[in-house]
Structure formats: structure tokens, C-alpha cells
């Protein structure tokens, strides 16, 4: 199972919809904030993958869902630098959790269509990613994405489907 988490408003729901069906999301698409959990199925070839999205509002109880999670997709809104600090605290909390020590992590820098490229670098600096990647046990992949343009969709699909 893939667990998709991140702060409120980071774009998790729209990103999952775009991954499931690239034609389902455009500039006019809107979503309702996830107040609990959503489970989505992703069919790739003949294999079915389950993605469980947890709303940012229930971050204090995310750990209740960590059992049997092999992959964690952590979504951060790069167009909102004010959110980066909150995202960093949440990310660090998740990374040190004992049930996720063997999980693979995908850090999704979302809403790249709303931000300029330098914000990616600023976000990574604020998260202290170079230092963090040296100190954590988990493998972390970083992808820039946009649910609107589809940027990063193929990389995310590849990450979900690889062993």
C-alpha cells in the first residue's frame, strides 16, 4: 500500500486523480479538502495498487495508519513557502516513526505550475534536504509535480510501481 500524506491544501487529492486518469484533471477541476481518509485504486497494466490518502487535518493520528505501509508519498505545496515549515515538522515526525523505518519515501514538490523554479530550491533549503538525506535510513526520491499540467506524473507512476 502507498500512503499519501502532507499538510492541508498541499494538493494530494488532485494529484492522485491526475495519476489515476490524466484526462480527469484540468484548470477547472476542484476538490474538497480530505477530512479523514480516501482510498484510491490505481490499475497499471494488470496490477492494482492501493493509495490511501490521509488529510492534513488528521496529522496527529497519521501514525494509526502506518502499519504495513511500504511506500510513503509526502506532498508539499511549493507555491506556499509559509507551509514549508509545517511540512518539514510533519515530514521529520513521519521519517522517525519506527513503523516506517523500511518504507520508501517520495517527496512530491507539488503545484509547480503555480511557482517559479527557484521556489523548488528554496523549499529544499528550508527542509534542509541535503542534511536530512544523509541522516535518514529510508530511501527518498524527490519529484516536481503539477496535477494541472501532469508534470511528474510518469515519475510518480514509476515510483509507485517499482518494487
Number of Cα atoms under 13 Å in the Cβ half of residue 48: 4
> Residue range 114-127: average pLDDT?
74
What residues make up the domain containing 61? 2-161
pLDDT recorded at residue 83: 84
Mean pLDDT of 4-14: 92
What is the pLDDT, as a whole number, of residue 105?
97
User: How does pLDDT run across 28-73, given as a tens digit for each residue?
Assistant: 666 767 778 899 999 988 999 999 999 999 999 999 999 999 999 9
What rounded mean pLDDT belongs to the chain? 88
Q: Residue 128: its pLDDT value, please?
A: 87
Rounded to 5 degrees, φ, ψ at 98 are -55, -35
Q: Which of 63, 36, 38 is nearest to 51 (CA)?
A: 38
* CATH code (residue 43): 3.40.50.300
Quote the number of domains for the chain: 1
Give dist(CA 146, CA 143) in Å, integer. Answer: 10
- What is the rounded distance in angstroms from the CA atom of residue 75 to the CA atom of residue 30? 17
Q: What is the pTM of this model?
A: 0.91
Amino acid at each position: 500500500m502507498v500512503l499519501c500524506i502532507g499538510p492541508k491544501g498541499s494538493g494530494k487529492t488532485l494529484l492522485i486523480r491526475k495519476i489515476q486518469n490524466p484526462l480527469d484533471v484540468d484548470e477547472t477541476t476542484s476538490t474538497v479538502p480530505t477530512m479523514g481518509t480516501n482510498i484510491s485504486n490505481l490499475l497499471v497494466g494488470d496490477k492494482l495498487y492501493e493509495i490511501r490518502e490521509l488529510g492534513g487535518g488528521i496529522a496527529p493520528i497519521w501514525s494509526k495508519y502506518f502499519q504495513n505501509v511500504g511506500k510513503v508519498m509526502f506532498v508539499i505545496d511549493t507555491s506556499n513557502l509559509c507551509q514549508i515549515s509545517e511540512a518539514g515538522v510533519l515530514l521529520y515526525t513521519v521519517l522517525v516513526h519506527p513503523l516506517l523505518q523500511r518504507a520508501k519515501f517520495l517527496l512530491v514538490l507539488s503545484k509547480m505550475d503555480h511557482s517559479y523554479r527557484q521556489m523548488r530550491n528554496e523549499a529544499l533549503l528550508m527542509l534542509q534536504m541535503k542534511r536530512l538525506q544523509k541522516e535518514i535510513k529510508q530511501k527518498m526520491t524527490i519529484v516536481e509535480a503539477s496535477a494541472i499540467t501532469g508534470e511528474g506524473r510518469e515519475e510518480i507512476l514509476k515510483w509507485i510501481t517499482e518494487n
